[in-house]
């Protein structure tokens, strides 16, 4: 992030202020670790922060519908004492994006945007001095990855040396998980069909992070190879919003990539199953794995609230 100031509050938690979260690597390694510590503190004693955003107004701009992202951000803002303003429409269609951003800049203290294209997020940040948070784009889903790192840390403690396996499309969720996991010292393995590999530029960034942290990055086209020895097995829908016309083709291409009992059994005996939701049971995951005692999907959903509170506290 472009700017950060730090000090200690009465509870011993470092205070931080940062500019934008447009992509995962806008957080420094220290900021990422601090944010996970703060998310744990907020979850443990939420009442300590209930007026932290008093007098602040934050705009939620959504081009895509959402259950978890919208409600957890609205709740986070309100539970921190701020006001959330929701707007659902294409951004930059009725009027230029730069005009939208400069209007918001005069009214609100922050912008949370869930959009189809990364360029929209970047444009909002370019034209607004208010902090901008990427709540999902075609390239990244940093808020989801923050909650996921918090969830894995709750289950296994230290993240260093753990293994996260992602089965499915090399999409925005895979990108953010890859970048976050590797710099926290987690091995990351992606099992995807031919033609569905992650963005090569993001893979190059991930390889650089792995070289620094000592973690391993593996991208293969055999699900069992990716899952073997994993502490967490993660999947996502095969066709995301905006890809509905590809659903039939993707169901064919992803045949054999379902996380079912047989594939999940190849992970560690104490492995957890993870999914960013919504899930299409019977496609990317079996109902038995979703409902198993080792499914962490609703812990992830809960931690969206706590991780986003921590993010808002850092940026506001």
In CATH terms, 143-300 corresponds, of 3.20.20.70, 3.40.50.1370, 1.10.357.10, 3.30.300.180, to: 3.40.50.1370
192: tokens are: 């995807």
The CATH class for the domain spanning 5-140+303-315 reads: alpha beta
Active site residue 304: yes
Rounded to the nearest 10°, the torsion over CA 142, 234, 199, 19 is 10
Set 70, 143, 144, 231: catalytic member: 144
Q: What is the pLDDT of residues 126-140, one digit of tens each?
A: 999 999 999 999 999
Q: What is the 3-state secondary structure (H, E, C) of 171-235?
A: CHHHHHHHHHHHHCCCEEEEECCCCCCCCHHHHHHHHHHHHHHCCCEEEECCHHHHHCCCCEEEE
Confidence of residue 271 (pLDDT cuts 50, 70, 90): very high
Active site residue 192: no
Active site residue 276: yes
| Residue 9 predicted with pLDDT over 70 | no
Active site residue 236: yes
Specify the pairing of strand 14-17 against strand 5-8. Answer: antiparallel
At residue 8, the 3 state secondary structure works out as: strand
Set 23, 68, 70, 114: catalytic member: 114
Confidence of residue 243 (pLDDT cuts 50, 70, 90): confident
Q: What is the pLDDT of residues 82-134, one digit of tens each?
A: 999 999 999 999 999 999 999 999 999 999 999 999 999 999 999 999 999 99
Model pLDDT, residue 247: 87
| Residue 241 predicted with pLDDT over 90 | no
Set 236, 258, 306, 308: catalytic member: 236
Q: What is the pLDDT of residues 278-307, one digit of tens each?
A: 999 999 999 999 999 999 999 999 999 999
Set 68, 141, 175, 275: catalytic member: 141
> Which residues on neighbouring strands pair with residue 85, listed in sequence order?
59
Measured in degrees and rounded to the nearest 5, phi and psi for residue 232 equal -140, 135
Give ranges for CATH 3.40.50.1370 in the chain: 5-140+303-315, 143-300
Confidence of residue 5 (pLDDT cuts 50, 70, 90): very low
Active site residue 141: yes
């Amino acid at each position: 992030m472009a700017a950060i100031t730090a000090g200690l509050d009465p509870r011993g938690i470092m205070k931080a202020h940062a500019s934008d979260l447009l992509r995962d690597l806008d957080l420094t390694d220290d900021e990422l670790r601090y944010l996970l510590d703060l998310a744990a503190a907020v979850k443990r004693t939420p009442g300590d922060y209930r007026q932290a955003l008093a007098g602040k107004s934050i705009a939620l701009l959504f081009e895509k519908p959402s259950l978890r992202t919208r409600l957890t951000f609205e709740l986070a803002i309100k539970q921190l004492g701020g006001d959330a303003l929701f707007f659902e429409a294409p951004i930059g269609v009725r009027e230029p994006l730069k005009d939208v951003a400069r209007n918001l800049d005069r009214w609100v203290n922050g912008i949370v945007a869930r959009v189809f294209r990364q360029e929209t997020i970047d444009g909002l940040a370019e034209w607004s001095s208010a902090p901008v948070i990427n709540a999902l784009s075609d390239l990244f889903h940093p808020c989801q990855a923050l909650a996921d790192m918090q969830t894995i840390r709750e289950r296994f403690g230290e993240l260093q040396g753990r293994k996260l396996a992602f089965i499915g499309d090399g999409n925005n969720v895979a990108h953010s998980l890859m970048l976050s996991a590797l710099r926290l010292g987690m091995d990351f393995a992606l099992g995807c069909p031919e033609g569905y590999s992650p963005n090569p530029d993001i893979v190059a960034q991930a390889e650089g992070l792995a070289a620094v942290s000592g973690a391993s990055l593996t991208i293969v086209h055999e699900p069992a190879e990716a899952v073997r020895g994993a502490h967490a097995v993660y999947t996502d829908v095969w066709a995301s919003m905006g890809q509905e016309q590809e659903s039939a083709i993707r169901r064919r291409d992803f045949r054999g990539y379902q996380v079912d009992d047989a594939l999940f059994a190849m992970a560690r005996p104490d492995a957890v199953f993870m999914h960013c939701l919504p899930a299409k049971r019977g496609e990317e995951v079996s109902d038995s794995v979703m409902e198993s005692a080792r499914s962490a999907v609703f812990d992830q959903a809960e931690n969206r609230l706590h991780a986003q509170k921590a993010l808002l506290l850092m940026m506001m």
